[in-house]
Every structure is written in C-alpha cells, then in structure tokens.
Structure 1
Amino acid sequence: MEHEYTADRAREGLCLALSGAEEARIRSMAAIFLGKDGEDPTALVLALGDADKGVRARAMEGLVAQDAVLPLVRALQDPAWRPRYRAAEGLGRIGDRRAVGPLVRALADEKDHVRYMAAKALGQIADPAAREALLPLLSDTNPPARKAAAFALGRVGGAESALEAALVAEPSGAVRRAIRDALGRP
C-alpha cells in the first residue's frame, strides 16, 4: 500500500522535523521521539548544535537514553562550543568510564562552559584516573568551573591537600562552599 506507514518512514519524518522545522517545539518533540527509538543517533548528534537551547537539551537526553557514548565522545570535538557542552553533560549522565579520557581532554577547552561541564561529568563518573587532570581546574578563571572541579575531586577522593590549599586562596563564597562540601565539612 502506497501510504503505509512504516517505522522507517516515521523515523525519516522525525529526522526531517528535527533538522528543518521552524518551530523549536516541533524540533524538541522530534528529538524526544528519536531518543526513544534507539536507532541511529546521527540526527540527535547534529541537533546538539541547534539554535534553540531546549532542542539541544532534548537531543542530549535522547542520546543519553540510547547510551550513545561514542557519538557523544565524537561530539566533544565539534567546532562549536554548545555541542561540546551538551556532549560532556550527556557523558556525565551516562556515567561510562570510556568517557573519562575525552572528558579529561575537555578540561582544557577554550570555552569555560565546556570546562565546567567536563569537570561536572567527571565528578558524576568519579573515576580516580581523572584526579590529576582536575587539580589545575581549582584555579580556573571561571568560578563555576572551579566549583565543578571541587565537586569532582570530592567524589573522586584523594585530593584533600589540594582542596585545602584551594580553600585558603578561593575568593568566591560559592566555590568555598563547594570545596568545604568536597572536604566533608560544614
């Protein structure tokens, strides 16, 4: 039958909506449905660079639902910072140790948002292999990145002396609070 709807045709329609619909709401819904179908994540990876923040978030959530570690790792190399940020966020939510090396490299990203999210993701994964790479982030120029590094080092453990030194020098009250939390102090 010529008008028979198949899963492939439905997926094709969703991919077209995700990449070409004018309304962000439609693109977001397409990302949600594509994330649930568990098929090729290519359209969702491309949507990590969408102009709309909500669409980017739904695309990342769809990739997390698919445990798309390798596509997210590749997205950490995107020339634009927003896909790198969402990729780091997704890798942290998945929590797969295969992401540790790529996330460690993302700690040196030129964009502070990406450094922040890479540190946060490493804290979610809590692999001791990230400890040494996280230490320099305690003196990053960006307070949220320092805060995320403290959180991550608290989860990873074994960095108490570095956290103590950072606490003494830290100008931001919010970051000092994060360091105290990482040290298990009130």
Structure 2
Amino acid sequence: MKRSILFPGIVLIVSFISASSDDKNDKQSLALKYETQIEEKDLEISMLKDELILVKYELEQEKKNREKLQIFDHNARNIMNYIAQNEFDKIRSEFDVELEVIDGKLYFDELADAPVEQYFPTEIAGLPMYFSFYNPQNDFTEVGYFLYGYNQYGSETKYDIHFRFGKEDEFMYVGTE
C-alpha cells in the first residue's frame, strides 16, 4: 500500500517540476519572441523616420519649385506683353538681354550661334497663353506654353513656345518649336 501512495506522489512531484521548467522555457521563449518583435518594430520605426525626412525634403523642394514657377510665369507673361506692345527696350533693360527686331521677327543674341536660324515671330505675342510644362535643370530652366490663334487664312493655329531661364534664373530667350 505504501507503494501505491508513493508512486502517485512521485508522479505528482515530477509533473510539478517539469511544469515549472516548462514555464521557465515558455517565459524565455516568449521573452525572445517579444524582443524579436521589438527589434522589428524599431527597424520599421527607423525606416519610417528616414522616409519622413525624405518626404519633408521633397516637400521643401516642391515648395521652392512652385515659388520659382510663379516668378518664371510672371516674367514670361510680362515679356510677352512687352513684345505685343513693341516695347523691346523694356525687355533689354528689365531682363538684361540682347535682342534685335527685323521684319517682325525677334532675334536673341543667345541664339546667334544656333545651327539653324531661330527667331520669335512678334505677331503671335498677343495671343492667349496656356501653360504647358515646367522643366527645371541644373544649368537652366524651361517654361513652355501653348498659344492659340488664327492664321492669315482664318484657320486655327497652335504655337508651342518656351522661355529659357539661366542658372541664376535670369531670362535668356523665348523661342518657338
């Protein structure tokens, strides 16, 4: 009879000890699992912080580009207004650019070395301008527009024009495509 009492007691003690050691293993495995999850979340947070820095930089650049585009657009519209009113001296003085007007064609000194003769026809300067593109580069910036009007035969004509501004945002010339 002592054996029958002793055996269940031993089984109970062994199961209690194994349960405690399993509990220790479970705690260690859970701690390791949580540490791994924390490391993954820390890495994700770090990546999100880097992405946030990049987005802030891109937003700042976009803001600068919008401000510059407004200035370029204002200058382009002023230049077209001066051309339409034949106020070429104002273009020369206000924008510090050399140009000649011959037979209703505007020639910019900046384009004098171009392989093909390039000029801007003054008769299209009074047409409505519609924004087309903004192309900032390291050495220059181009701003493009569409002009719509009617030719001498009465049919609608579309003109593509572009303004080139230099590295320091100075006006260089206006040309047609």
As a proportion of its length, which structure holds more strand?
A: 2
Q: TM-score band (shorter)? A: under 0.3
What is the TM-score normalised by the length of structure 1? Answer: 0.24
TM-score where L is the length of structure 2: 0.25
Q: Which has the larger radius of gyration?
A: 2
